[in-house]
Amino acid sequence: MLLHRRKFCDYGCKQLAKYQFKNGKWCCCLSKNSCMGNIKKRTDPQIGKSKGISFRKGKSFLIEYGEERAKEIKEKISKNTKQALANIEIRDKILLTSFKKGNIPWNKGTKGKMPIAWNKGKPCSEETKFKLHISNLGKSSPNKGKKLSSIYRKIMHQNAINQWKDNNYREKRSKDTRELWKNPDYVAKQMKSRGASPNKLEKYFEKYLNNLYPNEWKYVGDGQLIINGKCPDFVNINGQKKLIEVWGDYWHREQDPENRKKIFRKFGYDTLVLWEKEFKNMNKIENKLMKFSGAI
């Protein structure tokens, strides 16, 4: 590298050149990458790569690197190409992947369509699920604190409506939900998250029941006891497999008490169902309880 002070930089910065490189060009800096002319070509949106123009367009190896260096580069490229083509696997791969006349592009007709995921329909193994769980521990959601736009919310709402119109989807969701509610742990978690607690009628009946039969009945309607996906309201804690359900006239109006009794009977429980309207006559309630407990 020679020092020179009278020649201008060959890389377009219009500064006095100080150094000459092996390719015969002069530059104002020790490295051409530090020259403002080159930096402008790399960063200016109107020049070079950003418009899809190669930074070497119109330049041969001879012009860019000089005669000796250009000859070395060409020989090296030729040697590497011959070695690659000598390998049958690489040659076949090039022939298969090269585009020929009449070939249909892989992405033809996919404009505006969502691509199908490579793993669609392939369930993750338990090991993969555990690894994903560990990798996401302590990480917050990327959308946390972000408010969705009104347009995006409308799109999500419409997609949900269209999805729910599909009978197969509804049946699958219904089946999956029923299976989940047979799992005691899932039901208990759901009851806890919903803040399940006794309503006014259940609180009144619990007090009444404890006065009538002290230390015999316990309220478990908050998910403490799950039987085949069902949560009874009261259970006998005095050695008898008996349950009591307190049903509201509105919320249970379409349910048959006999179906609930059959479910609990499979697990050895006798069940008494009391309706909200029956509490207008407490004498009737007391007689039912006495008969159910075996007092009469």
Number of domains in the chain: 4
Same domain membership, residue 286 and residue 215: yes
Q: Is residue 80 part of a domain?
A: yes
According to the model, what pLDDT value does residue 6 have?
61
Asked if the model's pLDDT at residue 246 lies above 80, the reply is: yes
Specify the higher pLDDT residue, 40 or 170. Answer: 170
Q: Which among 259, 283, 262, 261 has a CA at the least distance from the CA of 272?
A: 261
CB 28 within 8 A of CB 15: yes
- Rounded CA-CA distance 25/105 in Å is 44
Report the relative pairing of strands 26-27 and 217-219 from DSSP bridges: unpaired
The per-residue pLDDT for range 205-239, each reduced to its tens digit, is 999 999 999 989 999 988 888 888 888 999 999 88
Residue 134 lies in a domain: no
Q: Are residues 162 and 241 in the same domain?
A: no
Whole-prediction pTM value?
0.46
Q: Which of 97-101, 196-200, 225-229, 283-287 shows the lowest per-residue confidence on average (mean pLDDT)?
A: 97-101
User: What does the pLDDT average to over 40-55?
Assistant: 56
Residues 112-138: pLDDT tens digits? 777 778 888 888 888 998 998 888 888
The answer to whether 32 touches 38, Cβ cutoff 8 Å, is yes
pLDDT of 9 over the 70 cut: yes
Structural domain harbouring 156: 150-180
Q: Are residues 204 and 278 in the same domain?
A: yes
Please report whether residue 185 resides in a domain.
no
Residue 4 has pLDDT above 60, yes or no: no
pLDDT confidence of residue 264: 93
Task: Give the pair of three-digit tokens for residue 236.
Answer: 């006998």
**H helix or E strand, kind and range, residue 3:** strand 2-3
User: How much is the pLDDT for 241?
Assistant: 92
- 270 or 223, which is more confident: 270
76 and 53 in one domain?
no
Predicted confidence (pLDDT) per residue in 139-150, tens digit: 888 878 888 888
Residue-wise pLDDT for 145-165, tens only, equals: 888 888 888 998 999 999 889
In a domain, 115, yes or no: no
Q: What is the 3-state secondary structure (H, E, C) of 204-215?
A: HHHHHHHHHCCC
- Say if residue 288 is in the same domain as residue 205: yes
Q: Has residue 139 been placed in a domain?
A: no
When pLDDT is averaged across residues 199-207 and rounded to a whole number, the result is 92
Please report whether residue 123 resides in a domain: no
Angstrom CA distances, 163 to 117, 159, 167, 169, 217, stand at 19, 6, 9, 7, 45
The reply to whether 142 falls in a domain is no
